[in-house]
Amino acid sequence: MTHETTADAGPVFIGTIREELEAICARYPSRQAALLPGLWIIQRERGWVSPAAMEEIAGLLGCSAAHVKGVVTFYTMYHQHPVGRHFIQVCTTSPCGACGADDVVRTLLEKTGCGELGVTSADGRFTVIEVECLGACGFATPIMINDEFHESVTPARVPTILAQLK
Amino acid sequence: MGYPHRPHPRETPVLSAHFGDPDARSLTGWRTRGGYVALERALGQTPGAIVDEVKASGLRGRGGAGFPTGIKWSFMRPGDGKPHYLCCNADESEPGTFKDREIMRWTPHALVEGVAIGAYAIGATTAYIYIRGEFTEPLQRVETAVREAYAAGILGADAMGSGHRIDVHVHRGAGAYICGEETALMNSIEGKRGNPRIKPPFPAVAGLFGQPTTINNVESLAAVPHILTRGAAWYQSLQLSNPKSVGTKLFSVCGNVARPGNYEMVLGFPFGEFLEDVVGGAPTGRKIKAVIPGGSSVPMLTRDEAMGAVMDYEGMIAAGTMLGSGGVIVFDDSQSIPRMVARLARFYAHESCAQCSQCREGTAWTTRILERICAGEGTYADLDTLLDIADNMTGKTICVLSDSCAAPVVSGLQKFRHEFEALIPKKQNTVAVAAD
């Protein structure tokens, strides 16, 4: 995942990326159905979904920018702002909460220098958030770093996991 | 098997027989384990014959509702001239549940085969597998399996040389528990906010893109190839005294237990023996205090109630709860029930789609009160208010998310009221009692 911080990086869907979107559109009887996959492409390319990108995909899929904004704000995984290079989500829902997830959160906030949930560290490397049930309750506490799952994370394992990140 | 543990001798591994075996993931590996024999045979039969076989097997939906799969399929009218769709619900997000994840991680072809059979049986040429956005590894495994199946001619315009078209597409969600609700899932595929739809019309009449649609859970579809290969009678024979609940079911076990993981049991197994023997009970030195047996949306049981319950649809109803998704959450005696319930309420408040005011306001209000109680700032009146709100949140909304929020609150208050009361400051206690 690359993370550009400028909103005016130009259109996303050009060349092969436009072809990728069109191939996805062919899977559905309506172009609008390609919206979630299209937003995933934007986030993969730019690290977040900017207002300019929302307008761009609205035009390509034949829906309004307001509709796209409504969708982006509904789903928690689309970033509406740039985030740290390593976006860390910690499951703290009850089953993980019963197994020490809050201690994992505290340790992550301390060791990454983020200090607070949702705040990006000063060096731009980390953002830590709590996430609702990651669907890996038997492997408490699961955390997700960008697209990578780490299972059975304990406060003691946090420094090792962070040391592996650039 | 109790993945990540070795299978327990009292398990009956069917769906989980290859969990932990990376060789089962590839098309070649799956074929050497008997894969795609059922699909090939199914494509030589009429769709009606497959529906009848699945009906006869007694398979019930494994996503939580327990509706008979074959009967659901029979609602789809073949030859009505409309496009039909099959949606596979792989949006597994119910706290305590992580079984579909393991099916997709270890045996993705089992799911692709089940989806292809299901699509053919309901007269659909297109199926979508909707996988929650956070499931990056399952997503990649299933996408690889679909690609392999296309390359081998198993999927596509002439599926397995049968002359029938079966297309399977993977659709990734983006973080929304509510998209596991079948009508919200369809909206999400259509590129909309995941708001549930008012029923009727039911999906079999007007579902995805307004066309007749069937939605099945991953585990239900993965069971279908086994039923077709070994026969409905074999599946029916997997029962322990209750002919209404047959077959094997994956139970995800988490929270305060010695061996968390997935366990595949024949339905009807005694819950007490499961908790103590198969799963190993609470961690050393602790005792089980409460159990939520079917994912966070079902009422919780006390230890005694859980020990006497039976692991099937009717057995859990008799115990005052539900089998649900089979996500078993165990709390030991070191846990505070009010805190656990408050955290669950926060989950539902976060996940409410906010269409219905009872849910939007009710889940948030419930959370605020519970968090206030946990902070030692609650009153006796709060406990009554919680029950009052819960009543207004049950059976009064488009979908059951708000009912699900009410379930742990009401059952927690009924069964562990003393723990809530203990958090209420003494001074206010006296005032409240005096006011009564």
Q: What pLDDT digit, counting tens, does each position of A46-82 carry?
A: 999 999 999 999 999 999 999 999 999 999 999 999 9
User: In degrees rounded to 5, what are phi and psi of residue B435?
Assistant: -65, -30
Q: To the nearest whole angstrom, how far is the Cα of A7 from the nearest Cα of chain B?
A: 22
Q: Yes or no: is domain B248-332 CATH 1.10.3720.10?
A: no
Q: What pLDDT is stored for residue A2 in this prediction?
A: 44
Q: Residue B333: pLDDT above 70?
A: yes
Average pLDDT of B296-319? 97
**Residues of chain A positioned with their CB less than 8 A from the CB of B260:** 137-140
**Residues of chain A positioned with their CB less than 8 A from the CB of B219:** none
B136 and A147 within 8 Å at the Cβ level: the answer is yes
Under the banding of pLDDT at 50, 70 and 90, the label for residue B430 is low
B134 and A134 within 8 Å at the Cβ level: the answer is yes
The answer to whether the beta carbons of residues B271 and B306 sit under 8 Å apart is yes
Mutate to test the interface with B, among A71, A72, A75, A137 (most CBs of B within 10 A): A137
Q: What pLDDT is stored for residue B431 in this prediction?
A: 53
B327 and A137 within 8 Å at the Cβ level: the answer is yes
CB contact, 8 Å: A50 with chain B? no
Q: In the CATH scheme, what is the code of domain B337-435? A: 1.20.1440.230
The structure tokens listed for B63 are: 């996503």
Q: What pLDDT is stored for residue B436 in this prediction?
A: 47
A40 and B174 within 8 Å at the Cβ level: the answer is yes
- Alpha-carbon span B309 to B12, nearest angstrom: 19
Complex confidence, ipTM: 0.95
B253 and A138 within 8 Å at the Cβ level: the answer is yes
Mutate to test the interface with B, among A36, A40, A148 (most CBs of B within 10 A): A36
Average pLDDT of B226-230? 98
Percent of chain A with pLDDT over 70: 95
Q: Residue B321: pLDDT above 80?
A: yes
- Alpha-carbon span B284 to A96, nearest angstrom: 18
Closest CA to B410 of B395, B429, B422, B432: B395
Query: Cβ contacts of residue B137 below 8 Å, gap of 6+?
Result: A149, B105
Q: Tell the CATH topology of A16-74.
A: Arc Repressor Mutant, subunit A (1.10.10)
Average pLDDT of B39-60? 98
**Residues of chain A positioned with their CB less than 8 A from the CB of B188:** 36
When mean pLDDT is compared across A67-76, B227-236, B423-432, the lowest value belongs to: B423-432
Residue keyed to tokens 């309420």:
B345
Roughly what angle, to the nearest 10 degrees, separates helices B99-106 and B218-230?
60
**Topology match between the domains B248-332 and B337-435:** no
For residue range A20-40, what is the model confidence (pLDDT) as tens digits? 999 999 999 999 999 999 999
Under the banding of pLDDT at 50, 70 and 90, the label for residue B1 is very low
For residue range B186-204, what is the model confidence (pLDDT) as tens digits? 999 999 999 999 999 999 9
Mutate to test the interface with A, among B343, B363, B401, B405 (most CBs of A within 10 A): B343
Closest CA to B75 of B168, B185, B203, B198: B203
The structure tokens listed for B399 are: 């979908």
Q: Yes or no: is domain B34-233 CATH 3.40.50.11540?
A: yes
Widest distance between CA atoms in chain B: 80
Q: With 0-12 CB in 10 A as exposed, 13-18 as middle and 19+ as buried, what is B336?
A: middle
Q: Domain locations in chain B?
A: 34-233, 248-332, 337-435
Closest CA to A10 of A59, A38, A45: A45
What length does chain A have? 166
CB contact, 8 Å: A23 with chain B? no
Q: What pLDDT is stored for residue A4 in this prediction?
A: 47
Closest CA to B337 of B410, B235, B260, B436: B410
Under the banding of pLDDT at 50, 70 and 90, the label for residue B4 is confident
Average pLDDT of B219-229? 98
CB contact, 8 Å: A40 with chain B? yes
Average pLDDT value for chain B: 96
B132 and A63 within 8 Å at the Cβ level: the answer is no
The structure tokens listed for B196 are: 């549930």
**Residues of chain A positioned with their CB less than 8 A from the CB of B92:** 135
Q: What pLDDT is stored for residue B90 in this prediction?
A: 98
Q: What pLDDT is stored for residue B6 in this prediction?
A: 83
Q: How far is CA A49 from CA A4, A43, A71, A85, B247, in A?
A: 10, 6, 11, 15, 45
Q: To the nearest whole angstrom, how far is the Cα of B133 from the nearest Cα of chain A?
A: 7
Which among B92, B95, B193 has CB closest to A94? Answer: B95
CB contact, 8 Å: A94 with chain B? yes
- Alpha-carbon span B82 to B311, nearest angstrom: 40
Q: Residue A11: pLDDT above 60?
A: yes
Q: What pLDDT is stored for residue A1 in this prediction?
A: 42
CA B117 to chain centre: 21
Q: What pLDDT is stored for residue B45 in this prediction?
A: 97
Average pLDDT of B309-324? 97
Q: Domain locations in chain A?
A: 16-74, 86-163
Q: Residue B428: pLDDT above 70?
A: no
* Closest residue, chain B, to A73 (C-alpha): B193
Helix, strand, coil in percent for chain A, rounding step 5: 45, 10, 45
Q: Tell the CATH topology of A86-163.
A: Glutaredoxin (3.40.30)
